[in-house]
Chain A
Amino acid sequence: MKILVVGGGMGGTILANNVARTLKEELKSGKVQITMLSASAQHMYQPGLLYVAVGRMTPNELYRDQASLLEPGIQFHVDPVETFMLDANQVKTKSGKTHSYDIMVIATGSRMWPDSIPGLKENAEFFYTEESAVKMFHRLRQFEGGKIVIAMGVPHKCPMAPLEITFMLNEYFIERGIRDKVQIHYTYPIGRVHTLENVAKWAQPEMDRVGITYETLFNLKSVDGEKRVLHSEEGTEVSYDMLISIPAHKGMEVIENNKMGANGWIPTDRHNLNMEGRTNVFILGDTTNIPISKAGSTAHFEAETVGANIAAMVRFGAPVRKYDGKVFCFIQTGSEKATYAMFNYLQPPDPKAPTRAIHWFKLAYNKLYWISARGLL
């Protein structure tokens, strides 16, 4: 039985490790082979980029060698897939090699797409890549006063990121002693400050309390860098001195090139997590088109479900679990407090008041992530 994992991010790594541990004997005997194909030899802790942007983590803290995170027996190659030959159960890689599979898991993730809004790429700061987060860190250091506007595209990775960066900026400028010289203006696409109603109910009065201004029903249409003005789909304008954007995201180019899903999102069964029409192809994390958060925890819980099902398929010939839509997101509400939201397809989130304890747990998780990626937490 050949199990092929395409993508070495959080979802692919947890899945491969879970399957390898569960099928340890089969792996050892050669009855099962697990191969992972990734575009990078390094594994990045992506949530750490937010902290890099405000100077609370350094880029080197975000990386581990991917091979060091994998269970023995998993064959790891830095050789990304370029062509999916689904009918033949094969893929072809950048180096020209062909890999066959009995079961394939695609977890290639997503990428920011600032080009989707005219003028955004040239005029905004981002924190979704190391390069952009470091650039934003330097821009913030040089910022001595004026109006910072936070604006976003849809869909974006990590739905908590807009609130987190906003509240962290508030404390960043307090610590620098220039908060009174900085207006922080938050914009959001729908009619409240966050899509989760209970989160919005907490966040809006908190913004009022700390003096963050906000504008809802603001969908970014274009950016005029010369005049430093944002234009919205709703017909309004907002001026800025520094623009910070959580841009729209799309799936990876290889998914689009292989015509496996519009904008790189693969049509996926929300409970079984198999690619629509393919019982031996599973999709994890950001790569799915399921209408839930594009977040590491989503990939984590999906990987646990798919991992259990692949092991069961090998041993019993049938899957045993269904994904219930579980997502768990920390919400950093400044530099000293945090809370969290947990929900699934049926149960809405009910976040509690932010505490220092959750903040410290979040900081601990920034380190514990590496245990989590091994599938041990």
Chain B
Amino acid sequence: MAEKKVIDARGSFCPGPLMELIGGIKMVEIGDEIEVLSTDKGSAAEIPQWLKKVGHEHLGSHEEAGVWHVNLKRSK
């Protein structure tokens, strides 16, 4: 497995963290892990929803000093 890719989407209103992830997930291999950093609280909810819909694995989320860290694995 490759080193975890970090998508730093802090301060991104447009395109926004989920869109950054949608673009970025195609740049890693199946089985690779990604950590999305976001200052948008809504992303902490909508990213896991999208992962579930598409079929990627949500590994967990946590908030630290106003930054949400959403961890996932590309599954397909």
Contact = CB atoms under 8 A, between A and B. Distances in A.
Contacts of B62: none
Contact of B46 (A190, A270, A291): A190
A291 B50 contact: no
Nearest to B8: A291
A202 interface: no
A67 interface: no
A332 to B, nearest CB: 16
A196 B53 CA distance: 21
Interface stretch (A1-9, A304-312, A338-346): A338-346
The interface size bin for chain B is 20 to 34
Contacts of B53: 217, 234
A234 B54 contact: yes
B14 interface: yes
Given A191-B46, A219-B54, A263-B27, A291 B12 contact: yes
Q: Taking chain A's interface residues, is the majority helix, strand, or loop, or is none over half, making it mixed?
A: loop
Nearest to A290: B12
B42 interface: yes
A154 B13 contact: no
A196 B54 CA distance: 21
Interface residues of A, number: 31
B74 to A, nearest CB: 12
B25 to A, nearest CB: 10
A318 B55 CA distance: 49
Contacts of B30: none
Contact of B14 (A116, A154, A346, A349): A349
B59 interface: no
A189 B20 CA distance: 11
Given A217-B50, A262-B27, A159 B15 contact: yes
Interface in A325-377: 325, 327, 329, 341, 343-346, 348-349
A216 B47 CA distance: 14
A291 B18 contact: no
Contacts of A159: 14-15
Interface in B1-57: 7-20, 22-23, 26-27, 42, 46, 49-50, 53-54
A376 B18 CA distance: 36
Interface in A213-231: 217, 219
Interface string B58-75: 000000000000000000
Contacts of A270: 11
Contacts of B20: 155, 291
A358 B34 CA distance: 41
A195 interface: yes
Contact of A155 (B8, B13, B15): B15
Nearest to A291: B12
B11 A291 contact: yes
A292 B50 contact: no
Interface string A147-184: 00000001100010000000000000000000000000
A32 interface: no
A343 B14 contact: yes
Contacts of A195: 13-16, 18-19
B22 A154 contact: yes
Nearest to B37: A291
Interface of A: 116, 154-155, 159, 189-191, 195-197, 217, 219, 233-234, 248, 262-263, 270, 291-293, 325, 327, 329, 341, 343-346, 348-349
User: Which 8 A-B residue pairings sit nearest by Cβ, starting from the closest?
Assistant: A345-B11, A291-B12, A154-B23, A195-B16, A155-B23, A154-B22, A291-B9, A291-B20
Interface of B: 7-20, 22-23, 26-27, 42, 46, 49-50, 53-54
